[in-house]
Chains A and B, each alone.
Chain A
Amino acid sequence: MTLTKRDWQSITLSAVLLAVAACLPLTGDAYMLSIGITIAMYAVLATSWALFSGPTHYISLATAAFFGLGTYTTAIGIENGLNYWVTLPVAAILGAVLAALVGLATLRLSGVYFVIFTLGLAELVRQVVTWGQNISGQKGLYILTDITEVHIYWQLLVLAAIVYLTGWAIGRSRLGFALRIIGDDEEVARHSGINTSRAKILLFMVSGATAAVVGSMLAPRYIYIEPALAFTPMLSFLVVIMALLGGTGRLWGPLVGVIPFTLLWEAISSSFPNQTTLLLGLSFLVIVYLLPRGFVGLIESGKRKMREREAFA
């Protein structure tokens, strides 16, 4: 693998940005930190979501299922004497396994059937957990650790770095190439000898494992978890809308959606506490109508226009 000058530039830029982001807790502003955690959490979730859904155009609403799986893995693990750090890879493996099972069963479905199935998946996992609780007679789980918000924030940043590296590597690999072909036309991909199911499942596993680890990392922040909180469908929708706001065509696309959206959401929550859902709905409409291709689309059409202007000048 050879790296071009441009690659080095992007890598250096990303590393610098990451280092700057890592300094946020040093400001000592806990409020900024709690917003930083929200941004980091959705950045990882939306980017890993876009890794799969961007090239394949399969809209997955299963984020909450993997996220909840991760929180429960950590909660149950810690309760049974596992070290917190051990629960993270366990969550990743479980997330990947669940994604593989789901992928095997459903990635042959396309379009709206896949969307509905993934939405149902979160509910299914939630019901299974509830059933387990009903059998064992135990309700919410407590995760009493010494992990603070700063630790959670840094962990999320490390995970973000891993996700970006993975995404970048996939984009340059045969797998990434295959996925782009699948996204353009699955029939063509299959006729070219690409094992489309395998490619899709592999990527879905990456996405699922990442969401599960995010859930694990946030469990100590919630301290108390129960199914309704861990598997909230709202999470899946927010991840999708943020990724779409940013644009899924580029690896950094979701990030430029997550940051403004989180800040907007924060402004709405603090200024209009009685109308949050209404304004959220309105901002969805605005996003879909004004920015159908997200910020990425906006930036790139801006670039193109500039180039055209230069060409005519």
Chain B
Amino acid sequence: MKRRDLFGLAAALTVTTSLAGPLAAQDALKIGAVGPKTGPLAGGAAVTFWPNVQLWAHDVNEAGGIDVGGTKRMVEIIEYDDQTNPGETIKAVQRLATQDEADFILAPYGTGLNIASAPIFERYGYPMVTHTAISDQIEDLSGKFPNMYFLLGGATGLAGGVVDVLSQMRDAGEIGSNVAMVNVADAFGIELAEAARPQFEEAGFEIIYDSSYPLGTQDLSPVINGAKDANPDAFVAWSYPPDTFGLTEQAQIAGLAPKAFYTAVATAFPAYAGRFGAAAEGVLGAGGVFADGDAFKDYAARHEAVTGAKPDFWASAPAYASFQILQQAIEGAGTTDKAAVAEYIASNDFDTVIGPISWDENNSNAEYWTVGQWQGGVFKGVASTGREGAVPAQPKTGWE
């Protein structure tokens, strides 16, 4: 009896599997997409990565496909969940390359997962334009993996952007020199705090409160209360999504309302404004876009129409831009030959939703957004390393 049940299950599985097989047209380009649908990074990927995969495939197919040397070819996306596990990312990319024989593979989501799969991309010659990998070792990585490109910038630039914005506000007489700085004791929080300390000092700021808290902590009131007791002119938190929300909420409760209030990752998420409404006005955060530019406005409208969700104001547009670069390179090279496309990426500039992209000597986009601010319900870029469209930062006026 039991054995029959098992056979039934196996049979059902086989049937469903074969049904789920290829439905798309014969000559469609197979594009692989690997990213977290489960695990710690699933939340971020659900905002930044997956909707853009969907939007890009939609845009390409609606336009009749990608022009490969005169023939228009639709794209068929093959998606895999890597469960935020580098071993699974490696396996999924491997599977795309050898079993699905994907024509191209989109770069995975997140720093660690991108770097873990870079050797597989390299081995099969797939160009890899990363959209969510932030690394301080871009030089080493691009040396080892010449087909790997970086769009989102590095930690030193992100921290430097904050220092610049605060310096400008101080020069305008809006804030003083006392900074309270906290960081989440994990990966980027640590690196950003480390990068920021000397830069603040050099710019003549005094860090009057410097503290860290563990990842995943529920009670952020000691952090905020400590900062409030120091009575700072600016509050800077190198935070992750859950604590970005937690710190903002706690600051409202405790009445910590300096003229400059900065939280890092996820401040640029639409959910942030959704949660805090008008109180989000004037909050500074990591990322930013040229929010008033037509390219972004048009992109955001299509994003919402196709996926039903708003893009975030940081990595969403670069993610889409990385797919555009791949598309333009295929069209430019006029072939699906991976080496030719990789060669085209290396030797050309690209025009994308985030503006023109050119590579520096380390295959990195040297011009990226570093700081944004919620202004009138939109998270506008206020500082970048050379992007056009920055607006001046405004002092925050309380939480009301």
* B210 CB → nearest A CB, Å: 12
* A206 CB → nearest B CB, Å: 24
State whether the Cβ of B20 lies closer than 8 Å to any Cβ in chain A.
yes
* Contacting pair A144 B214 (CB below 8 A): no
Query: Of all chain B residues, which has the CB nearest A140?
Result: B187
* Contacting pair B123 A224 (CB below 8 A): no
* B177 CB → nearest A CB, Å: 23
Interface residues of B in 73-121 (CB under 8 A from A): 79-81, 83-88, 90-92, 94-95, 97-99, 111-112, 115-116, 118-119
Across-interface contacts of A229 in B (CB, < 8 A): 84-86, 112
* A261 CB → nearest B CB, Å: 14
Query: Of all chain A residues, which has the CB nearest B33?
Result: A273
State whether the Cβ of A286 lies closer than 8 Å to any Cβ in chain B.
yes
State whether the Cβ of A225 lies closer than 8 Å to any Cβ in chain B.
yes
State whether the Cβ of B218 lies closer than 8 Å to any Cβ in chain A.
no
Per the bound structure, the CA–CA distance linking A286 and B12 in Å amounts to 15
B188-220 Cβ-contact flags toward A at 8 Å (1 or 0):
101101100000000000000000101100000
Per the bound structure, the CA–CA distance linking A286 and B39 in Å amounts to 23
Query: Of all chain A residues, which has the CB nearest B214?
Result: A127
Of the listed residues A29, A130, A139, A144, the one surrounded by the most CB atoms of chain B closer than 10 A to its CB is A139
* CB < 8 Å A-B pair total: 123
Known: A30-B98, A221-B90, A225-B112. A234 touches B2 (CB 8 A): no
**The residue from B38, B95, B140, B188 contacting A270, defined by CB atoms under 8 A apart:** B95
**The residue from A137, A140, A142, A274 contacting B193, defined by CB atoms under 8 A apart:** A137
Of the listed residues A138, A270, A277, the one surrounded by the most CB atoms of chain B closer than 10 A to its CB is A270
* Contacting pair B40 A228 (CB below 8 A): yes
Interface residues of B in 314-337 (CB under 8 A from A): none
**The residue from B84, B185, B194 contacting A131, defined by CB atoms under 8 A apart:** B185
State whether the Cβ of B37 lies closer than 8 Å to any Cβ in chain A.
yes
Number of residues from B at the complex interface, CB < 8 A: 52
State whether the Cβ of A192 lies closer than 8 Å to any Cβ in chain B.
no
* Contacting pair B81 A274 (CB below 8 A): yes
* Contacting pair A139 B188 (CB below 8 A): yes
* B223 CB → nearest A CB, Å: 14
Known: A130-B185, A222-B116, A223-B115. A271 touches B140 (CB 8 A): no
Across-interface contacts of A158 in B (CB, < 8 A): none
Q: Tell me if A's interface is mostly helix, strand, loop or mixed.
A: helix
**The residue from B16, B91, B119, B190 contacting A266, defined by CB atoms under 8 A apart:** B91
* B360 CB → nearest A CB, Å: 20
* Contacting pair A224 B116 (CB below 8 A): yes
Across-interface contacts of B97 in A (CB, < 8 A): 30-31
* B243 CB → nearest A CB, Å: 14
* Contacting pair B94 A134 (CB below 8 A): no
State whether the Cβ of B249 lies closer than 8 Å to any Cβ in chain A.
no
User: Size range of the interface on A?
Assistant: 35 or more
Per the bound structure, the CA–CA distance linking A139 and B137 in Å amounts to 12
* Contacting pair A226 B91 (CB below 8 A): no
Across-interface contacts of B140 in A (CB, < 8 A): 142, 144
Known: A34-B91, A134-B190, A140-B112. A290 touches B2 (CB 8 A): yes
* Contacting pair A226 B112 (CB below 8 A): yes
Interface residues of B in 1-31 (CB under 8 A from A): 2, 5-6, 9, 13, 16-17, 20
* Contacting pair B111 A140 (CB below 8 A): yes
State whether the Cβ of A276 lies closer than 8 Å to any Cβ in chain B.
yes
Across-interface contacts of B6 in A (CB, < 8 A): 286, 290
* Contacting pair B115 A273 (CB below 8 A): no
State whether the Cβ of B144 lies closer than 8 Å to any Cβ in chain A.
yes
Across-interface contacts of A225 in B (CB, < 8 A): 112
State whether the Cβ of B67 lies closer than 8 Å to any Cβ in chain A.
no
**The residue from B9, B88, B111, B119 contacting A269, defined by CB atoms under 8 A apart:** B88
Per the bound structure, the CA–CA distance linking A38 and B94 in Å amounts to 13
Of the listed residues B97, B99, B137, B185, the one surrounded by the most CB atoms of chain A closer than 10 A to its CB is B185
A272-304 Cβ-contact flags toward B at 8 Å (1 or 0):
111011000000001000100000000000000
State whether the Cβ of A175 lies closer than 8 Å to any Cβ in chain B.
no
* Contacting pair A224 B111 (CB below 8 A): yes
* B400 CB → nearest A CB, Å: 35
A205-231 Cβ-contact flags toward B at 8 Å (1 or 0):
000000000000010011111111100
* Contacting pair B37 A134 (CB below 8 A): no
State whether the Cβ of B174 lies closer than 8 Å to any Cβ in chain A.
no
**The residue from A29, A144, A267, A276 contacting B38, defined by CB atoms under 8 A apart:** A276
Tell me the B residues contacting A by CB distance below 8 Å: 2, 5-6, 9, 13, 16-17, 20, 37-40, 79-81, 83-88, 90-92, 94-95, 97-99, 111-112, 115-116, 118-119, 123, 137, 140-141, 144, 183, 185-188, 190-191, 193-194, 212, 214-215
Instruction: Name 7 interchain pairs, CB-CB below 8 A, sorted by A.
Output: A138-B191, A139-B191, A232-B85, A234-B39, A269-B80, A271-B17, A277-B38
Tell me the A residues contacting B by CB distance below 8 Å: 29-31, 34-35, 38, 41, 127, 130-131, 133-134, 137-140, 142, 144, 218, 221-229, 232, 234, 266-267, 269-274, 276-277, 286, 290
**Given A144-B140, A224-B111, A274-B79, 5 further pairs, Cβ under 8 A:** A31-B94, A130-B186, A224-B115, A228-B215, A290-B6
